[in-house]
Chains A and B, each alone.
Chain A
Amino acid sequence: MNTERFETLIAAYGAEPSRWPAAERDAAMAFMASDRAAAERLLFEARMIDAALDASPTPQVSHALRESILAAAPRPRPVRSGGFGWPAWLRAGAGLVAACAVGAAAGGLTITQLAGAAQADSILAQASDLPVDEQEFLG
């Protein structure tokens, strides 16, 4: 750190060491301590500009703005009900099994109905053609 760099530093970042680059802060502070009078002369103007900048008011957040922003915030994802806490793959499997069961029942009923209808037709047809003893057998 030399006078030229110190001058450049405070011309850019001001008089407050916390705003100086971290990598140069210690060296700059050591330079300042080594020649306090010279440093003070350089710091004087920087302090005035810092003070002027600090006079700029910080805008206040209005309640309306805050609420408007929060109204658009993400919502928690809804938890599916009726799953009894089972894993998704298990719930999906159970659903598949249920669907198959319904399909099978419906299919079974249809086959039963078709078979029953076919059997009735066959019986009637046969009843009209078959000899008496066979009619008796078929009932």
Chain B
Amino acid sequence: MIRRVIPVVLLLLLFPLVSIAQVDPGVRGGAAGAGQPLASVAANNPAGILNFFIAGQDAFEEIETVPEGLGPRFNSRGCGPCHAQPAIGGSAPAVNPQVGDATASGATNTIPSFITSTGPVREARFPFFFDAFGNPNPNSPNGGVETLYTIAGRVDAGTCTSAQISQPSFALAVATNNVIFRIPTPTFGLGLVENIDDATLLANAAANANNNFGVTGRFNRNGNDGTITRFGWKAQNKSLQIFSGEAYNVEMGVSNPLFQQERPLPGEDRASGLPAACRLNPTPEDGPDFAGSGAGVLDDVAAFANFMRFLAPPTPSTTTPGGSTSINNGKALFNAIGCNTCHTPTLKSSPSSFTPSLSNANANLFSDMEIHHMGTGLRDNVGQGDAGGDEFRTAPLWGLGQRIFFLHDGRTKNLITAIQAHNSSGSEANTSSFQFFNALTTSQKQDVLNFLRSL
């Protein structure tokens, strides 16, 4: 009897503590607030543009085979399965398609320990090359994508067998802490991001220069022309076309007009490249359809870029979760404690030659497009362009309410954990994040969480 009573009493005693703590409301339910074309694209303004969006979406949803260009190394077989949450074009879905990719069509890949069916879609990088004994060498920076799978064993892989090609040493990388991850970035509204002038970004940076939160930041820049780059976790890519071309080549192994060769592993490329037996197709595998017409002429890379460019930004909820008062209050608190110093709520796009919805529009992206030091807790020891091992682009927050996985490596599904990860030695976000945890009341914190999940 006593045994039964004690847990109940404990539960009753703990209940007030549990009930007053703020909680992440979780993935916002209801209809997907994203995945549709921009209003002017949906209205086919200018004439014909809707066909380009539809053709882009078709290409984006396509599942590749080896004769179509897949491999010889790849992370997944299509754009769509990974960019799927809450709709096509989004981020990692609840069920990881990479588990099925490993053995699809007879492939004989070993699934690395960090790829699980309920975990995030992941791309892996080794910060450092291994020496011949298997020790990561800090004097040999790598940082390139170590593609998860090969086509060996697939029914369409021809002469490319496991005797010719192997997966990277993922178990060794895990054992030596020499692997980091990136998850897919959502692509909604990226046409607006692409169309924000550098002058607007610089003016926003100047407006935030006198903040009292210890935030500084700077822009990553294109090595060729010196202009501001803005796509990718470290803002390393200049345009959607470059972003698409690289992803097609790196994630699916499809050579294309922007990245013409089949992609070896970073170390393989320092030695003898990909084995001839696995370079099965003439290159580039993706190109224009010279016999086609209209949107069908475009190569896939151009089609992907159009799809992302013409995708509407996510639509936030004004009432869910927590009701409009809580959401509005949360937004005000988000600004007050300085989250908006980096997560700039709105930047205006420039006049667009593509379609009216991209012209002089408010991009409510919640990012300044700058790179910031995020400290030892989030560091990945990968340098890209001017961004060092702990510098990341401010992640846009639009659409966050319906995202499942957070941070560059998808390490958490919990928004509170994600905010807490902003705190570590060397992070520019410490003060704002400290104010969230140390200066706001529980109810105020809940308002901020509700606001974020409304986006």
A interacts with B: no
Q: Which residues of A contact B (CB under 8 A)?
A: none
Q: Which residues of B contact A (CB under 8 A)?
A: none
